[in-house]
Amino acid sequence: MPGAALEVAGLEVAYGSVPVLRGIDLRVDSGSFVALLGASGCGKTTLLRAISGFVQVNAGRVLANGRDITHQPPDKRGMAMVFQSYALWPHMTTAQNIGYGLKLRGQSRDAIAKRVNEILAMLKLQGLGERMVTQLSGGQRQRVALGRALAINPDILLLDEPLSNLDARIREEVRHEIKALQQKLGITAIHVTHDREEAMVMADRIVVMDAGNIAQQGAPEDVYNRPVSAFVAGFMGAGNAIRLEARPSGNGLRIAAGPDNSAADVTKPALGPGIDASYAGPVIAHFRSEAAILSAASDAPDGALVLRGRIAQASYPGGHYRYGVSVGDLNVIVDSGQRLNVGAAVGVRLPVEALHLFPADGRANQQSFKQAS
């Protein structure tokens, strides 16, 4: 197992009397790429700034390669930060910005010039060294900000939503470039983002945060396929949720038929924390829009859970149609290649392996913080 480049233990941060981080425990292995993922206000940026030394901690410790840096200033932590706003010097050229940290460290002109040229080539910025950064595109400026951070050979690279100011096409291009560079250099990276796809594409490990806690952490496929709470399921794309009644049946649960749904047998892999084969009572089933299959309302369930409803809305985001389907008092989103008319009666067929079931009383959410690690 790789050594830990960073360890956070019992970290607490408050702004005045308002707690922001509530006892965070986190390990980042050397050479790994970790994404801190969550909505605005969840504490992810505060955690990054506490790691970097820009925010004072109230309790807990931060260790870098086994060295306690909890109270060290930012420039003594062996880290470099890439900011959302780029934070480049507008009166400097591209080369001067990239070499700025080396100049502060007292390196010679020749050493700085050599390293800057290496970074320019690495980031495909050849020929732009003498150009003022104000004359660069957004994608080029982001590469300069990344180059300035990499120039000092940091032990840990910190990225604070660095792609949020870029348009969609450039953002996709740069995210792959950053990941490729991180793998090539073997550097440890911690990346803050609210974009689920960005975290999935770039990170080896995702840390989902909610209200100052770690709700779940793990490999992207684990967090995506095995969410430990309704919150994580919804945040990771399984935003459709419907209330059902369940009772024990063999090694799983039997979903009872209702006015808007068929009966179905659900096996253990779909059962979230707080539910086992002895559970009886209401559950909330989460599922993704792309996991559902639209069929005629009269089709037999064929072992799947089928919801009965009508098309209430239709749109074409590209490559497929997106429907809002009214199921009783609820509206669920379903993607389909079929073109259907608003008002059409449909069945929403859900393979049981596409379901994430949690107790309707919210017990899974209450337990998730304990199970997140």
Question: With 80 as the cut, is the pLDDT of residue 2 above it?
Answer: no
Tokens of 344: 């059409």
Per-residue HEC secondary structure of 84-151 comes to CCCCCCCCCEHHHHHCHHHHHCCCCHHHHHHHHHHHHHHCCCCCCCCCEHHHCCHHHHHHHHHHHHHH
pLDDT tens track for 18-53? 999 999 999 999 999 999 999 999 999 999 999 999
Residue 301 pLDDT:
76
| Secondary structure, 3-state, 74-92 | HHHCCEEEECCCCCCCCCC
Each residue's pLDDT tens digit, 182-223: 999 999 999 999 999 999 999 999 999 999 999 999 999 999
AA letter at 367: Q
What is the rounded average pLDDT of the residues 316-329?
96
What is the structure's pLDDT at 361?
78
Sign, CA torsion 72/75/79/84 = positive
Q: Are 120 and 98 in contact (CB under 8 A)?
A: yes
Q: Are strands 205-210 and 321-327 parallel, antiparallel or unpaired?
A: unpaired
343 — alpha (psi -120 to 50), left (phi > 0) or beta? left
Comparing 205 with 273, the larger pLDDT belongs to 205
Q: Please report which confidence band the pLDDT of residue 124 belongs to, taking 50, 70 and 90 as the band edges.
A: confident
Say if residues 254 and 263 touch (Cβ distance below 8 Å): yes
* Interatomic CA distance for residues 125 and 97, integer angstroms: 13
Instruction: Please report which confidence band the pLDDT of residue 144 belongs to, taking 50, 70 and 90 as the band edges.
Output: very high
- CA–CA separation, 160 and 268 (whole Å): 38
287-311, pLDDT tens digit by residue?
999 999 998 877 777 889 999 999 9
What does the pLDDT look like over 55-90, one tens digit per residue? 999 999 999 999 999 999 999 999 999 988 888 999
Q: What is the pLDDT of residue 299?
A: 76
- The pLDDT-based confidence of 151 (bands split at 50, 70, 90) is very high
Residue type, 235: F
Q: What is the pLDDT of residue 262?
A: 94
Say what the pLDDT of residue 138 is: 87
Q: Which helix (H) or strand (E) holds 264?
A: strand 264-266
Euclidean distance between CA atoms 64 and 43, whole angstroms: 20
Given pLDDT bands bounded at 50, 70 and 90, which one contains residue 251? confident
pLDDT tier at 372, thresholds 50, 70, 90: very low
Please report which confidence band the pLDDT of residue 177 belongs to, taking 50, 70 and 90 as the band edges: confident
